[in-house]
């Protein structure tokens, strides 16, 4: 029986509009692990009430980071085995930048900023029954606003939030440099996350300052193109 990946429904023409779901699916493709995707709002069934999670023959693992750790131990570390300690440290720093900083600016751009919300609402909730479409999107938006406020970034002015995101994107561009992948000539597991986050900015039709920032760096769109051609052709 194939490994099952539970993730949100697709949106914006991406493999997944959740960077964390897309990160796991990209890793599975990079590592050559057979899987089947199940798309839906599975949060209430998920072990940690968050997506993604996997079911590997009865072994259920949640959280994208823990999923990839499990996959490495169960199927072999095909992508990172040859990395040096310095490369591993750089990869850890990259993940923190993506998932603990840029993520929150991306959430704000989609769910709170008035340029993003008119496209986010139908992309995520357009398939709901008419009655649910009246109140579920607003409830979800308020919940995200509370999370942004609790994290801290939601207490800033819009320009300040986007400046934080733009600085993260500039750092990513400098860290990538002229290399084809973030840790050198060959892809590693950190590229699964980097591609998922950058594609969720560059390949989504939300005209926000984050997209402007990403477009201003000449190496980021070609990087996404390489990853897309190699793993999603």
Reported CATH class of domain 3-75: alpha beta
Query: In which residue ranges of the chain is CATH 1.20.1050.10 found?
Result: 85-231
Q: What percent of the chain has pLDDT over 70?
A: 99
Question: Hey, what CATH topology would domain 85-231 get?
Answer: Glutathione S-transferase Yfyf (Class Pi); Chain A, domain 2 (1.20.1050)
Stated as kind and residue range, the H or E segment containing 231 is: helix 220-231
Task: Write down the pLDDT at residue 120.
Answer: 87
Q: What is the pLDDT of residues 35-59, one digit of tens each?
A: 999 998 777 788 888 999 999 999 9
Closest CA to 24 of 54, 47, 56: 54
Is the pTM higher than 0.85? The answer reads yes
**Which parts of the chain register pLDDT below 50?**
none
Burial status of residue 69 (CB atoms within 10 A of its CB: 0-12, 13-18, 19 or more): middle
């Amino acid at each position: 029986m194939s490994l099952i990946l539970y993730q949100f429904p697709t949106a914006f023409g991406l493999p997944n509009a959740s960077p964390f779901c897309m990160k796991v699916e990209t890793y599975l493709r990079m590592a050559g692990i057979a899987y089947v995707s199940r798309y839906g709002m599975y949060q209430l069934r998920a072990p940690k009430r968050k997506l993604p999670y996997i079911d590997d023959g009865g072994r259920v693992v949640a959280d994208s980071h823990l999923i990839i750790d499990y996959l490495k131990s169960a199927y072999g570390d095909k992508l990172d085995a040859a990395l040096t300690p310095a490369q591993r440290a750089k990869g850890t720093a990259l993940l923190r930048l993506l998932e603990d900083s840029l993520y929150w600016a991306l959430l704000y751009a989609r769910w709170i900023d008035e340029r993003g919300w008119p496209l986010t609402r139908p992309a995520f909730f357009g398939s709901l029954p008419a009655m649910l479409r009246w109140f579920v999107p607003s409830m979800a938006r308020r919940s995200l606003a509370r999370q942004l406020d609790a994290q801290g970034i939601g207490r800033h002015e819009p320009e300040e939030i986007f400046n934080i995101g733009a600085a993260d994107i500039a750092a990513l561009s400098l860290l990538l440099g002229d290399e084809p992948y973030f840790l050198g000539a060959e892809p590693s597991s950190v590229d699964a996350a980097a591609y998922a986050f950058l594609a969720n900015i560059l390949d989504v039709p939300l005209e926000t300052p984050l997209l402007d920032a990403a477009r201003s760096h000449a190496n980021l769109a070609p990087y996404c193109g390489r990853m897309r051609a190699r793993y999603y052709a």
